[in-house]
Amino acid sequence: MTDTIQMKTDGGNDGREIETPTVAVTGAGGYIGSRVVVAFQEAYPDWEIIALDNGYRAQVDAIGDVEIQHVDIRNRNRLEDALTGADVVCHLAAISGVDDCDENPDLAYEVNVTGTNNVAWFCRKTGAALAFPFSMAVLGDPEEFPITADQPRDPLNWYGRTKLLGERSVEAFADGAFPAHLFLKSNLYGEHIVDGTEVGKPTVINFFVNRTLAGKSLTVYEPGTQARNFVHVKDVAWAYVRSAERLVEQLERGETGTETYEIASDEDMSVMEVGEIVRKVALEEHGINVDVELVENPRSDETMVDEFSVDISSTKERIGWKTTESIAVSVRELLEEHRG
């Protein structure tokens, strides 16, 4: 793990005086961002929250007493106005996913690269701290296991390339100016509720549950042995809270530069194994019998490794973060909720 934290040299080492932190969340109306806002509200109800989203994939427009401002991160002037006063920015606005980026390559570049540059430039000008996820997609086929954040970057698709460009720009902007945490984040799953609204994403686990309830076979792309590391959205949200706690301390100490954290779980399994878990739970607890079927893989630009373990020991040690959710429990909950 290579981090580049150092004491601030352009403007003194006295640090930033923070009485009550203000945290901004971009992409706050989306799958992860909305959960992050909820986690901050639960952990620190006295902290100020700035919530931004342009509505592209937003699923909510308010979270508790926090109204989500309609702001597009590509509009730098509007963005900087909205972020004014932020001590920590959790930058979650993105065009995420391989298919969305392939279908909208210009949009993916404008949001994931230019938009991220705009956020990082704001942090450089104001000294605000930054938490930014750059995805496992930057690694391509990992060279060794367990995966750590210091492995070589070799993205296989446009999504991974745009996230890699975002990672590099944050490193450059943070140098000597502000502290930043970079999240090498694994595959998310799970649904959550925000003010009565069910917020979800078409993850492979949700896909399997929906097909099961429709009485359809669970289709797995060949060869089926390709593995992923799965981490629940609720656990990921708490990683941002723990990160913000450390970033506030680093601001007060006048530290700048980047630290990288692996955000994953200890559940790394093949897609076929996930399908079998869904099939087994559906049969044993709901009497629903579906098959798991291998089908031709239309994707040539994704990793096919049959192991995907991630070393999160450093993350646990440095920011005190750990996972509490599990795939089996989440599958049971999803089947129960959707069937009801």
Domains and CATH numbers, the chain: 6-190+231-263 (3.40.50.720), 192-228+266-339 (3.90.25.10)
Q: What angle do CA 210, 279, 212 make, to 5 degrees?
A: 20
Instruction: Please determine, for residue 78, whether its predicted confidence score (pLDDT) is greater than 80.
Output: yes
**Per-residue pLDDT tens over the stretch 135-176:** 999 999 998 999 999 999 999 999 999 999 999 999 999 999
Q: What is the pLDDT of residue 175?
A: 98
Contacts with 280 (C-beta within 8 Å, 6 or more apart), sequence order:
none
Question: Are 195 and 63 in contact, with CB atoms under 8 Å apart?
Answer: yes
Instruction: Please determine, for residue 76, whether its predicted confidence score (pLDDT) is greater than 70.
Output: yes
pLDDT band at 314 (very low <50, low <70, confident <90, very high): very high
Instruction: Please determine, for residue 8, whether its predicted confidence score (pLDDT) is greater than 70.
Output: no
Mean pLDDT throughout 120-144? 95
Nearest Cα neighbor of 197 from 26, 23, 30 is 30
Distances (CA, A) of 24 to 40, 63, 76, 183, 331: 11, 13, 15, 17, 32
Question: Are 97 and 301 in contact, with CB atoms under 8 Å apart?
Answer: no
Total-model pTM: 0.93
Give Cα 289 to chain centroid, integer Å.
Answer: 33
Q: What angle do CA 153, 157, 163 make, to 5 degrees?
A: 55
Mean pLDDT throughout 73-97? 97
What is the number of alpha carbons within 13 Å of residue 199 lying toward its C-beta? 26
Q: Which long-range contacts (CB under 8 A, 24 or more apart) does 101-104 make?
A: 101/157, 101/158, 101/159, 101/162, 102/157, 102/158, 102/159
The fraction of the chain above a pLDDT of 90, given in percent, is: 88
Give the chain's mean pLDDT. 94
Strands 268-270 and 227-232: what pairing? antiparallel
Instruction: Please determine, for residue 1, whether its predicted confidence score (pLDDT) is greater than 60.
Output: no
Instruction: Please determine, for residue 7, whether its predicted confidence score (pLDDT) is greater than 60.
Output: no
Written as six digits, the tokens of 87 are: 């001590």
